[in-house]
Amino acid sequence: MRQAVLGQSVAPSREGPTARSAPELSLEKAIRDPLYVAVQNSGIVRALPSKQAWPGVAGAHYDALSPDGSRLMVSGFKTGNVYVLDTANGDVMASVAIGEVAQGVKISPDGRYGLAVAPTQGDVAVIDMNTLELVKKIPVGKVPHNLIYSADGKFAYVTLQGEGALAVVNMQTLEKQHQIPTPGLETPHNVDISANGQRLWLRDFTGNVGVMDLASETMLKTFKVGSGHGGIDVVPGGKYIATGAISASAVTLIDPESLEIVKNVDVGVGPHGVRASRDGRFIYASVTADNQIAVIDSQSLKVVRRQPVDGKFPFWIAVPGNP
């Protein structure tokens, strides 16, 4: 049960003779900017399109880039450590212990702080990205999981999977300011923010997505999507919201204006991490059971490449220009 709550349920793999063959779009065309995949069960980060494997990140779980793309923050699910890597060469610059388990990570828009979630302690750890040292642990509530910054970087919104709510952290005082309930989503899991900073898009643990208006702190709508939990991404350009489903096989695309589901794109078994390229042309999904990155063309809404990660359980993806 504890493994399920912390995010480890996945559909059976289709690897082997039934696995899908890769379409013809070249790796260089499908992944034009560097893409960093946290490959959890292999304890590596896979950099694409170079295919470099960066070791030394046991339990590589969630990852996030600094605004300038020079540093990669990675949570170690199995270690409770947070790693900071140099993206020029993949060297581990620091390893910071934050608790029994480490979940979501994000680096602030100004690059000053990295936040990392320690769910069993109910804390968000604050790491100084200059000194690479732990500054503070902020109590936020029951079973926090992941977070996103406000558009201006003044606040961080932390999902509280154990409370059906969001914790709002003031980044000036480094204190929890207040809490926002998420009615219709009892287990908010992952989160992203609209480009204008006015709406939060939330993915829960049990196959639902919700959209919240931040000014009124009210849920506008909830959607039934693929089973299990998954990542969620506001695709740059504002045309789609994309979400995975680790216990299913499709990435769901939602129109953020009409608030309607546009399409479910079959990508393989167990898509979890979802991030689009900085220009919004391609949507990348980490397909955990098939050990691949599926590349969706946002114009045709078809999978145009399936890239093996040469490792086990690719969980999350970091993309330059789309934190």
At 1 the pLDDT is 35
Domain end point (choices 91, 109, 127):
109
Residue 272 pLDDT greater than 60, yes or no: yes
pLDDT in tens, 239-251: 999 999 999 999 9
Give the domain-ending residue among 42, 75, 109: 109
**3 in a domain, yes or no?**
no
Please tell me whether residues 200 and 244 are part of one structural domain.
Answer: yes
Range with the poorest average pLDDT among 14-18, 51-55, 77-81:
14-18
pLDDT(20) > 60: no
Written as six digits, the tokens of 201 are 């898009």
In a domain, 220, yes or no: yes
Same domain, 101 and 114: no
pLDDT, position 301: 98
Task: Read off φ and ψ for residue 253, nearest 5 degrees.
Answer: -110, 130
Q: Quick one: 91 and 133 in the same domain?
A: no
Cβ–Cβ under 8 Å, residues 222 and 209: yes
Residue 19 lies inside a defined structural domain of this protein: no
Per the listing, tokens 């642990």 go with 137
Specify whether 87 is located in the same domain as 179: no
Are 189 and 71 part of one and the same domain? no
Phi, psi dihedral angles at 4 (to 5 degrees): -65, -45
Give residue for tokens 């880039």.
Answer: 65
Average pLDDT over residues 256-262: 98
Q: Does one domain contain both 41 and 140?
A: no
Exposure b/e, 225-261, CB count within 10 A at least 16 = b: bbebbbbbbbbbeebbbbbbbbbbbbbbbbebeeeee
Q: How confident is the prediction for the chain on average, in pLDDT?
A: 94
Q: If you search the block for the tokens 């992203």, which residue do you land on?
A: 192
What confidence tens digit (pLDDT) does each residue in 173-182 have? 999 999 999 9
Confidence band for 11, pLDDT divided at 50, 70 and 90:
low
How many distinct structural domains can be found in the chain?
2
74: confidence class by pLDDT, cuts 50, 70, 90: very high
Would you state the structure tokens that stand for residue 27, as one six-digit string? Answer: 């790796």
Q: Are residues 75 and 127 in the same domain?
A: no
CATH number of the domain where residue 137 is located: 2.130.10.10
Does residue 136 register a pLDDT over 70?
A: yes
Given a contact cutoff of 8 angstroms between Cβ atoms, the answer to whether 117 and 132 are in contact is: no
> Residue 79: which of 95, 93, 63, 55 has the closest Cα?
95
Q: What CATH number does residue 93 fall under?
A: 2.40.128.630
| pTM beyond cutoff 0.85 | yes
**Which residue range(s) make up the domain with 233?**
110-318
More confident position, 306 or 24:
306
Quote the Cα angle for 206-209-213, to 5°: 140
**What does the pLDDT read at residue 76?**
97
The answer to whether residue 20 is domain-embedded is: no
For residues 236 and 308, state if they share a domain. Answer: yes
**Residue 311 sits in the same domain as residue 285:** yes
Reference 75, options 66, 65, 84; nearest CA is: 84
Distance between CA 241 and CA 266 in Å, rounded?
A: 16
Tokens of 220: 């506008």
The lowest-confidence range among 6-10, 139-143, 165-169, 175-179 is 6-10
Q: Looking at the predicted structure, is the pLDDT value of residue 127 above 80?
A: yes
